[in-house]
Structure 1
Amino acid sequence: MNNFEKIKNRLNKKEAVIAVMGLGYVGLPLAISFAEAGFQVIGFDPSEPKVMLVNQGKSDIMDITSERLAKLVGNKQLIATTDSENLAKADAIIICVPTPLTKSYEPDISYIVSAVDMIRENMTPNTAVVLESTTYPGTSKELLYLPIEKDGWKLDEDFYVCYSPERVDPGNKTYQTENTPKVLGGMTPISMQVGTALYEQVINHVVPVASTEVAEMSKLLENTFRSINIAFINEMSLLCEKLDIDVWETIEASSTKPFGFMRFNPGPGIGGHCIPLDPIYLSWKAKEVNFFSRFIELAQETNHQMPEHVVHKAMKTLNSKQKALSGSRVLLLGMAYKENIDDLRESPSISVYENLIKSGASVDFCDPLATKYRDYNGVTQETIPLDYNRFATYDLVIMMTCHDIFDKEQIFANSALILDTKNVMSSFASNKVTRFGGGPVVHTEKTIMA
């Protein structure tokens, strides 16, 4: 039996040891899936507090319950460590590390480079290495395959390289690790077979593609598509405000077409790790081949101006009541980048908060899920309690992220003035509610009059 057959056999019999590098939103759920499937899993993370938390069976990720994690830790199916020497025990190593941007808005691949360096120092023969971190096309070849080969290892004999982009959607109760289709590209057909044998143990539907570059490009295409379409509908929202047309009713009307139309909603900006960052990775790579992706960069510009528009809209809303933004008390509802999660990454609410402060407003926020964050000055800001009686003490309440825990009727009843950035207060027809998107609230049987 050759090495290729040996590793496939160990995977199929669940005798293989799986190492997951990075125990965040992507890595921890994946590690748990492999552990629940019967594999011995090593979770590597350089953060000692993170590793300690995992080994105590405590989850800091909303989609993973501590009970679920504790069961796996208790039976030693999953062990977290900060010691990279433990990677030597693994048959397959999956890299799930951050890929942020530098201060100059270029790809920061330092976490991938660091992970690969640790793998090179510790891996043993016949190991599969898979990258899941979002990155530009060519990364798997440049940063995984070539450096490991340079050390004298032979591809498809000593090691195997694949790329499979993560598709984590925090807070999604329908699609999670196991039932989200998994795109997979191998450096070679043999590497592809090993990667397929790995992921088929925990994923219902593995989607094979011809190369790692196709797999890398697919992730960027998915999120750049969303970024561009969100930018377009944000621009339409701004236009509808100028024309005094209700963009929300317009979208509803267009959505009745059963073909050729895909709904996107405007809002106060884009957030999360993927949509704000992935298009920049693609745009950066395009420039390497002297290709300028104007759509991508225009979409970025449009989406990034939306938090500023929130502040401008807040100023106009207060002005309509003969109040200035400077000196007014403003409350932001919801700091997380989307509903019903605690994730603050790239949240537009943070930009709105900071810009309101710069404009002279006195600002608080209320978010029972994302309870604190560190501002641009490094100072920790904390949520106020969810006490609707306090809302009346603010000149303006801005609806940013409407978690299910928020009671809209209580918000309406206790707020003097409301700026609604996501049309969540559409059932309340009142001159104290100002909406993004132009046009008056349409009075229907469901509309609450005030």
Structure 2
Amino acid sequence: MYADHLDVIKHAPLDSIDLLSLFRTRQATVGIIGLGYVGLPLALTAARAGFDVLGFDINAMYVDCLNRGESYINHISSAAVADAIEQHHLLATDDFRRLGEPDALLICVPTPLTKHREPDLSYVESSGREIARHLRRGQLVVLESTTYPGTTDEVLKPILEATGLKSGRDFFLAFSPEREDPGNPDFGTSTIPKVVGGDGPDALALADALYAGLVVKTVPVSSTATAEAVKLTENIFRAVNIALVNELKVVYAAMGIDVWEVIDAAKTKPFGFMPFYPGPGLGGHCIPIDPFYLTSKAREYDITTRFIELAGEINSRMPYLVVDRLAEAIDDSGKTIRNAKVLVLGIAYKKNVGDMRESPSLKLIELIERRGARVDYHDAQIPIIPMTREHADLAGRTSVPLDASRLGDYDAILIATDHDSVDYQFIASNAKLIVDTRNVCAKVAIQKGLVVKA
């Protein structure tokens, strides 16, 4: 964090000095574009810090819920939303004509992949065009959406400068990657250090001053491209290491070795080792997607990202291996997977959240049904499967209740997500067979004869 931001911009245009004062005194209005899993926590953090926050979203349901003081994200309480509304620090709107009102605009929109696994920047581009229609002198614009190095400068900046206003002179442009971990009880938006890169020193100083009022620590870097690369590096690191333990799981299983026991023992080493854990596949918006943003950009430089692509292949293969293991376990019980009845326990991509973006559970359901089995699911966090691009046929299915008679009807119960709210002892006492992809049964000491690890 800069010791005195004013020293950095003392020769800058008057707009930047005025804006810096607004940030330092928390008299600025902060606009958040996109009120999902990243934007809503950021909006609440800014409101709690004393900024007035104007949240923008095209989803009228989100806007209505927030203005009633209600949350639509499971791990964010309605009480937190209501407090921000009641203190008059937060207002949500779908009227994008108001984009000229905030002093800072923080873009928190999705950056998915196309069906050909190429970056889809359509949400960033449309947000940029909407901002450009209302952009005024003296505003700070910050992109938070994960993307490839160069996006802020090569994609967003030209859209904004097409107005005739110039970055660094009339408005200020920065990139600060989101680092949300939904459902993490130890770290929230305000307690996670924030990397900040600016389009020039004035933009960097202003963005750093704004985030210094929101988070425990800022980490200024030399450029927007560097900040973009930081976020990709974090998630590529995770994707590659998860792929490694997924591959080790397959190798060790063939040798009769429990990979979970190996990892638990290895992590007792106080240096040189960091535990990562296998699973049924990657989920969430970040790890399955972000590495391929760098892969796509690297091709422009005639570089092949072999580690990233190999990790993607391994992680994408995991649902197929889990279903193979499920079929073997059912065969060993004296039945076949064709016409079997299977319960998938958990369809969120990670425990204790209601987020199913890129969840491997959806692929698991499709693969199991392709084998001829009948599949139900249970997930109290997600009572109904919404429409998704890749698994449209599953939309509308509803979570079944967990009761003793129903559990006994299933030929196998596949634990895909290990929510803490599930009574696994109850599951075990009524199940015929459990296939566990998360090692949760070992943690709660369920009898081994009932459980097959996958």
Shorter-chain TM range is over 0.9
One of 411, 425, 429 as aligned partner of 1:409? 425
Pair 1:381 & 2:397 matched: yes
Trace 1:190-209 onto structure 2 (pairs within 5 A).
190-209=202-221
Query: 1: CA distance between counterparts of 2:448 and 2:40?
Result: 46
2:65 aligned residue: 53
1:422 aligned residue: 438
Contact 1:164–1:183 (CA under 8 A) maintained in structure 2 = yes
* Residue-by-residue CA offset, 1:171-217 (whole Å, 9 max, x unaligned): 01110010101000011111100001111111110111111111000
1:36 aligned residue: 48
Query: 1: CA distance between counterparts of 2:435 and 2:173?
Result: 50
Secondary structure of 1:345 counterpart: coil
1:160 aligned residue: 172
Pair 1:434 & 2:446 matched: no
Query: 1: CA distance between counterparts of 2:434 and 2:195?
Result: 43
Pair 1:334 & 2:350 matched: no
Sequence identity percentage = 43
Query: 1: CA distance between counterparts of 2:189 and 2:447?
Result: 41
TM-score, reference length from structure 1: 0.94
Q: What is the RMSD of the two structures over their aligned residues, measured on CA atoms?
A: 1.3
Secondary structure of 1:220 counterpart: helix
Query: 2: CA distance between counterparts of 1:50 and 1:147?
Result: 27
One of 4, 10, 24 as aligned partner of 2:36? 24
Query: 2: CA distance between counterparts of 1:252 and 1:63?
Result: 28
2:295 aligned residue: 283
Pair 1:116 & 2:128 matched: yes
1:151: Cα distance to partner? 2.4
Query: 2: CA distance between counterparts of 1:249 and 1:12?
Result: 50
Secondary structure of 1:380 counterpart: coil
Contact 2:385–2:394 (CA under 8 A) maintained in structure 1 = no
1:400: Cα distance to partner? 1.1
Pair 1:98 & 2:110 matched: yes
Figure out how many residues of one structure are paired with residues of the other and give that number: 436
Query: 1: CA distance between counterparts of 2:174 and 2:448?
Result: 56
2:401 maps to amino acid:
P
TM superposition outliers: structure 1 runs of 4+ over 3 Å: none
1:64: Cα distance to partner? 1.9
Contact 1:181–1:207 (CA under 8 A) maintained in structure 2 = yes
Query: 2: CA distance between counterparts of 1:152 and 1:343?
Result: 40
1:256 maps to amino acid:
T
Trace 1:11-410 onto structure 2 (pairs within 5 A).
11-374=23-386, 375-377=391-393, 379-410=395-426
Contact 1:144–1:161 (CA under 8 A) maintained in structure 2 = no
2:428 maps to amino acid:
F
1:332: Cα distance to partner? 0.9
Cα distance change on mapping 1:144 and 1:250 into 2, 3 Å? same
Is there any run of 5+ residues in structure 2 with no aligned partner, and where? Answer: 1-12
1:35: Cα distance to partner? 1.4
Moved more, 298-307 or 385-394: 385-394
Is there any run of 5+ residues in structure 1 with no aligned partner, and where? Answer: 437-450
Query: 2: CA distance between counterparts of 1:108 and 1:379?
Result: 23
Query: 2: CA distance between counterparts of 1:264 and 1:77?
Result: 40
Contact 1:349–1:400 (CA under 8 A) maintained in structure 2 = yes
Contact 1:17–1:39 (CA under 8 A) maintained in structure 2 = yes
1:378: Cα distance to partner? 5.8
* Residue-by-residue CA offset, 1:339-372 (whole Å, 9 max, x unaligned): 1111101111111011111111011111111222
1:32: Cα distance to partner? 1.2
1:328 maps to amino acid:
A
